[in-house]
Structure 1
Amino acid sequence: MRALVDEVAAQLLFLYPGLRRAALELAADGEVRGENAVRPAENATGGLRTDATLPADIRRGRSRLASAAETQLQNALALLHEDGDVSAAYRMLLRAAEGVHDEGVGRVGAEEILWSLVAACQLSARPGHRESLERYIADSGALFTPSVRTDLRGVLDPAAAPGWLRGQIESLDGRAGPAEIVRIAGVSAFFGNLSDSRHALRSIACTDPVGRFGVPGVQASILLAFEAYQTGQWDEADRLARTTADQCAAEGYQLLRRQAQTVLAVVAAGRGDATTARAIADEIAGWAAPRGLTSLLVGAQYACVLAALAQSDFLGAYQQASRFTPAGDLASAEPFAAWALLDFVEAALRADRREEADVYAHAIRQASLMASSPRMALLSTAAMAMTAPDEEASALFELALAGEDAGRCPFDRARVRLLAGERLRRMRAVGQARVHLAAAHDDFRRLGAPTWAQRAATGLRAVGLVPPGTDLGGQQLLTARELKIARLAAAGLSNKEIGDRLFMSHRTVASHLYRMFPRLGITSRAALGTILQSVEAEGEFTLGP
């Protein structure tokens, strides 16, 4: 029977390359061995490369792996990266892991299989995969050292171990293994700490899957592209992600290609290009959903959330965010909940889902996400400010923006400033609103986020200010005559009294007021005084002459 399995697999692999996936799945059940196995050597994150490029300790570890376990490892990672079949890959990896445990082989090889299993579990985000992984770890006895077990807990539950993650990032440059660099940087990506991993990632990054560091090098490039997005270098993020995606497509590495495309979708969404963002997200989702790749699917959904918010489609954003971040249920969405902290609360409030926004903000407080990173502190505190009473909101927004590292994620900071300005304007704190809205407008313009800048400009006009670079169609916000009328109306004069002073009829005065109110973002003359007071102070924003 074994000879028959070997012969069938060999024919599938070498005579019919198009049926590679079928051969790999057959290997999962038939344990294809020797010359009939898929031979590229791989590391814990799926790096396909030749044995000659592997560090000596990994080669020694391989020599202690049973041939069946090694074959299953190789086949599983090839299947995962080329076909994206995470379920079949996970089964093969778990079988390999259990085989290693049964035979008591060396720790180097056992850890390689373990980290591959963890990576597959994170890609699928399925409770069943997590449960079986936990059982395997619990039953592994002394196979894994206390240090490895600590690292496992940190990777699997990073929000619960912020101190561990900080320590790992601080020592990252001293690590020799590309797989470990990518693993730690990947965990930090969820919390906005990627900038601290930049140097280590650059030391191994490449866009070619068959380069010196194999798949870890490509994963490093994707993480660098995401880091460029988070730090506001959107042109660089787009260039690096596009180059990587094209190279992966040429080499047949479909999983890595979709991960790079996720960065492209998020950049497009941030820029307000909803059409491009949704087109890329739909392509990713169409490939990821039938394969059970939850992490990719959530990334695509998040790009759609951001695209909807950029277009002020708050109901659409709420519906998208609710698909992977249920209100009050952060645990079921971890670690993906960290992606959409602010988005869910903003979308829920603007879509008249106040109760859901309150429940979510309460869950944020309970989860203590603020300790995870400066970015989480910024977003978590801002989310709580949005749901807080008026008497608490201003102080919470200031606290959110006061962090010394708030500027490391300029897009997030600009969004918090925009939300603070809009809330303060509704509270009639016009002076404070002016500061935040002006800063948000400047930040969005520098980032190249025109739809967000326009929203900030709308807020500025609502407090009587014209932001620099705003196109008013050749019209001033208020003409000199309108400004005189506005000042007299704010002083309490009636339309007839204003007309007598300015030598015009009361109907003409009423017509001027009617036309200027929408431009100022107000609905009654009672608000004129507050707006005029805010623009009397010196500054770069002025009313028309």
Structure 2
Amino acid sequence: MTGPAGAHGWRHDAARPLFGRDPEIAEARAFVDRARVSGDALVLAGDPGVGKTVLLDAATDYAAAVGTRTARVTGSQFEVDVSFSGLQQVVDPFLDHLTALPEPQRNALRGALGLAEGGAADRFLVASAARALLVAAAATAPVLLVVDDLPWMDQASSMVLSFVARRVAGHRIGLLGALRTGDKGFFDHTGIRVLDLEPLSDEAAAELLADRFPALTSRVRQRLLADAQGNPLALLELPVALHIGSRPAPSALPATLPLTRRLQTVFAGRVRDLPEPTRHALLLAVLDGSGDLRVLTTGEIDRLGPAERTHLVSLDRAAARLHFRHPLIRSAIVELSTSDERRDVHRLLAVRRRSEPARRAWHLAEAATGPDERIAALLQQVAHTNLFRGDSVGAITELLRAADLSPAGTARSSRLAEAAYLGAIVTGDLRDVPKLLDAARDADPRHGGALAGAVAGAYHLLNENGDIDSAYGLLTGAIDALADPTDGGNKTLIEALYTLLMVCFFGGRPELWPFLHTAVDRLRPRPPQLLTILRHTFSDPAHLAHAVLDRLDVAIDNLRGESSPARIVRTAIAGSYLDRLGDCREPLWRAVRHGREGGAVTSAIEALFLLANDAYFTGRWDEVLTLTDEGLDLCESHHYRLMRWPGLFLRAMVAGGRGDEALSARLTEEMTAWAAPRRVGAVTAYVSHVRTLTALSRGAFDSAYRHASAVDAHAPNALWLVMETVEAAARSGRGAQAAAHVAAAERARIGALSSRLALSVAGAAAMASADDDHADLFARALATPDADRWPFDLARIRLAYGERLRRTGSPAAARDHLSAAIDVFDQLQAQPWASRAAHELRATGAHRERSGPHLAPTLTPQQHQIAALAAAGLSNKQIGERLFLSARTVGYHLHQIFPKLGIAARAALRDALADLPPPPDQ
């Protein structure tokens, strides 16, 4: 293992054996072999001094011997606040491959590393770029990244490296990291294999001690073995401590000291014996934290000689790198310095790092002895830069430090409020919001952080108490109080308007919207395009959405290159009531992954629920439950109470659809109990929607009509209830109301908003029709383009058609539609609906027959292509564009494919295709 002072350096000497580590060495070499062929990631975990670094040495040496290109870095507890500093060291050897990256990734990575102005809008793009760079490098030679002390890497770098580590499979890239057991850092090694390093066995410990210190007496050897507890570093360092100064015996190290503290005492004694100029140079290196020798002068490097000779540090002058033997040495150096010495060194480093704004600001902050507005402003600029680069957590840290350095008053208040605002809308730190806002008000009682504080306060009010009215008043008051409420370039104002839009939506009352419309209209030079789209599609989509449909579709199409999770989610929200979520799935998954990687939690929650929304309407109900599980867990862990209701609504919809009325009732009662006293209209509309469908499934049409009628006609949820309201009215003896609802939907051209709404309006018209003309209207509804993308809606229309045919004396024709409806309901496990359809089928004199064993179906190559694209969620039009077919031809093929596969809707395509043999050659 590591050698004693005066014996040799701490890197493993190949001439000496590593006692008791044969299995671990074999595993490290096997890891390198796997990584250089197909990619792999491994984390070594163990107590301080157990030998993690030596095992990293062995793996690094072996990798070099077999031709693997290696980059090695060590996390530093004194550099954790410098965003992307660790990533810069990791990728620096591979930057010659930067030109191989697509321009957006190249610019993102250059921006994150400070190599160019600008950069990525979020960490996910930086992470993707870092991975792409390493993939490009690995194309020429295998790559191994070795990272010691992972928990001490800065947050932004840690998230990027954990992203890369989980995506090395299939590429010649290895990531080998080390951390102390129990250490909590930003590196998420969930899903990455962990090798736990145990202490040496008694036999191996005795062999190590005998090999390195053969002259020890038996009594001393037994005391050391007992104290070291199999820890290799202790075995090699404690003997040296026995002879420091005038302490001749093992009893000089009290048994009550924990092992780590003992070792730190050993290192402190070693540092204390160094010349003062050497200690000063070491303090410079420690507080710089980068391991870069170029921050030291030639004279200072020369003064490190005594530390190098006693093996506290090693110097690689060719690479201009300095390495500390153990992290405890760094801690000892800092502990032995005075606060004045540390401030002086930070001031000196600020001068030497003047070309690097983040490092300079950080060193100046550490050198400050009291409030300093100049330094606070520099830190705030760094925070804004890091926010743009995707490091929102780092930005909050820097804003809070800037607030600490700000004189009392408006500047301090605004920085605290901005930190609260970022915590509320991005990182999920809602629990910190109240104390930050209180501090902002204490710093400036008159303004209290103004607009940024209002946004953060509104989020807290909404999620803590569901207080819609107070949040509305807070935001509108802050916007009205602005010196220039028309400034369209004010990012905080724009964020406030987005937040106000959310408040208006959840409030669900028409009187809340006029202020927002006026505020958006007066923005100059013009409102943001997405804000304009959202207010049209969310305030009254049935009547206002037509004006922005083309712009919405362009915005959704542009998501392919979008990196901002907030923009992805807001664009998808704009299309959610207009059935555009299928086109947003891939970007929404990017937003989810961003949140999983430690990015924007709020965006990840919303993305999960939007994906679940799409899964519900396209008939993937099991997926609804999986997605909402994750989203609700995030809401619970981050205290987002308001954001949980869309997830619970979707779960209640599935529960009601599948006949679990107890769960559906419990969820709707919970929603009602929370929403009614708070006047949260959107959640009340969710309840009415669930209860409408549950009543329809039982044939309780009068109850269904009452629930459907409770939803305001201008609310977004009303778009989802057109067919349900008409069916309930028509079947409960309210023929005139049913016809009036259909006429209103047709006047509003609701069917032109999406293919599902076209199906819904056509189905409603058929359900409201008189018996003598129902056939044409039902046939027209069933022929709606892309109707099979919406299996539940289509099956309910088939059920209604079958019921009408049976009542009008056409039982044979009714059976086909009822059987097709049952097929879909069975696939969805929608038992009440299946029972209702089966009851009608029996009334025709038929019983449903289950098909027996049959040969595996075969599809033509073109049919297989079409089926695969439809299973992936593409519309008939999108499939036609890819295959140079008309949408009508695609629909014709799908109607041939479904019977061949024994299914009734697109939702079952993925499973049916999985059971098929490979497609025949074309």
Verify same fold: TM over 0.5. Answer: yes
SS at match of 1:142: coil
Equivalent residue letter for 1:259: P
In the TM superposition, 1:195-234 aligns within 5 A as: 195-205=582-592, 211-234=598-621
Native 8 Å contact 1:104 1:143 kept in 2: no
Task: Compare the two structures and name the one with the higher helix fraction.
Answer: 1
The answer to whether the aligner puts 1:42 opposite 2:422 as a matched pair is yes
CA distance in 1, matches of 2:633, 2:530: 38
CA distance in 1, matches of 2:645, 2:526: 35
**Deviation (angstroms), 1:33:** 3.2
2:500 is matched with which residue: 97, 117, 122? 117
Q: Which residue of the partner structure matches residue 318 of structure 1? A: 705
**Deviation (angstroms), 1:431:** 3.4
Equivalent residue letter for 1:350: R
Q: Which residue of the partner structure matches residue 135 of structure 1? A: 518
Distance 1:238 1:139, change over 3 A: same
CA distance in 2, matches of 1:397, 1:157: 29
Q: Which residue of the partner structure matches residue 635 of structure 2? A: 248
Native 8 Å contact 1:211 1:217 kept in 2: no
CA distance in 1, matches of 2:467, 2:418: 16
Normalised by the size of structure 1, how large is the TM-score? Answer: 0.71
Deviations 1:407-432 (A, max 9, x none): 11211111111011111222223333
Equivalent residue letter for 2:490: R
CA distance in 2, matches of 1:288, 1:220: 23
CA distance in 1, matches of 2:467, 2:792: 35
Q: Which residue of the partner structure matches residue 18 of structure 2? A: none
**Deviation (angstroms), 1:237:** 0.7
1:350 is matched with which residue: 721, 731, 739? 731
Q: Which residue of the partner structure matches residue 189 of structure 1? A: 576
Native 8 Å contact 1:278 1:303 kept in 2: no
The answer to whether the aligner puts 1:160 opposite 2:160 as a matched pair is no
Distance 1:311 1:153, change over 3 A: closer
The answer to whether the aligner puts 1:237 opposite 2:237 as a matched pair is no
1:93 is matched with which residue: 452, 475, 484? 475
Native 8 Å contact 2:454 2:474 kept in 1: yes
| Unmatched tracts of structure 1, length 5 or more | 1-29, 51-64, 471-539, 541-545
**Deviation (angstroms), 1:148:** 5.2
Which moves more between the two structures, 146-155 or 449-458? 146-155
Native 8 Å contact 1:381 1:399 kept in 2: yes
| Unmatched tracts of structure 2, length 5 or more | 1-409, 430-446, 852-901, 903-922
SS at match of 2:554: helix
Native 8 Å contact 2:798 2:821 kept in 1: yes
In the TM superposition, 1:473-488 aligns within 5 A as: none
The answer to whether the aligner puts 1:428 opposite 2:809 as a matched pair is yes
Distance 1:280 1:390, change over 3 A: same
**Deviation (angstroms), 1:146:** 6.7
In the TM superposition, 1:431-470 aligns within 5 A as: 431-468=812-849
CA distance in 2, matches of 1:182, 1:208: 12
SS at match of 2:425: coil
Q: Which residue of the partner structure matches residue 490 of structure 2? A: 107
Equivalent residue letter for 1:304: R
Equivalent residue letter for 2:546: A
CA distance in 1, matches of 2:507, 2:600: 25
Q: Which residue of the partner structure matches residue 360 of structure 2? A: none
1:377 is matched with which residue: 758, 778, 796? 758
Equivalent residue letter for 1:463: T
Q: Which residue of the partner structure matches residue 413 of structure 2? A: 33
Q: Which residue of the partner structure matches residue 462 of structure 2? A: 80
CA distance in 2, matches of 1:123, 1:401: 34
CA distance in 1, matches of 2:738, 2:732: 10
**Deviation (angstroms), 1:114:** 1.6
The structure number with the bigger radius of gyration is: 2
Equivalent residue letter for 2:514: E
**Deviation (angstroms), 1:295:** 1.0
Native 8 Å contact 1:46 1:81 kept in 2: no
Native 8 Å contact 1:31 1:71 kept in 2: no
Equivalent residue letter for 2:463: H
CA distance in 2, matches of 1:220, 1:290: 28
Equivalent residue letter for 1:282: E
**Deviation (angstroms), 1:157:** 4.4
Q: Which residue of the partner structure matches residue 294 of structure 1? A: 681
- Percent of residue pairs bearing the same amino acid type: 33
The answer to whether the aligner puts 1:281 opposite 2:668 as a matched pair is yes
**Deviation (angstroms), 1:370:** 0.5
Paired residues, what number?
422
Q: Which residue of the partner structure matches residue 388 of structure 2? A: none
CA distance in 2, matches of 1:103, 1:428: 66
CA distance in 2, matches of 1:171, 1:451: 41
The answer to whether the aligner puts 1:405 opposite 2:794 as a matched pair is no
SS at match of 1:46: helix
**Deviation (angstroms), 1:373:** 0.4
**Deviation (angstroms), 1:338:** 0.9
**Deviation (angstroms), 1:447:** 0.9
Distance 1:193 1:101, change over 3 A: farther
In the TM superposition, 1:483-494 aligns within 5 A as: none
**Deviation (angstroms), 1:238:** 1.2
Higher RCO, 1 or 2 (CA under 8 Å, sep at least 6)? 1
Native 8 Å contact 2:565 2:594 kept in 1: no
Q: Which residue of the partner structure matches residue 260 of structure 1? A: 647
Normalised by the size of structure 2, how large is the TM-score? Answer: 0.43
Distance 1:210 1:83, change over 3 A: farther
2:566 is matched with which residue: 138, 155, 179? 179
**Deviation (angstroms), 1:138:** 3.5
CA distance in 2, matches of 1:81, 1:385: 43
SS at match of 1:352: coil
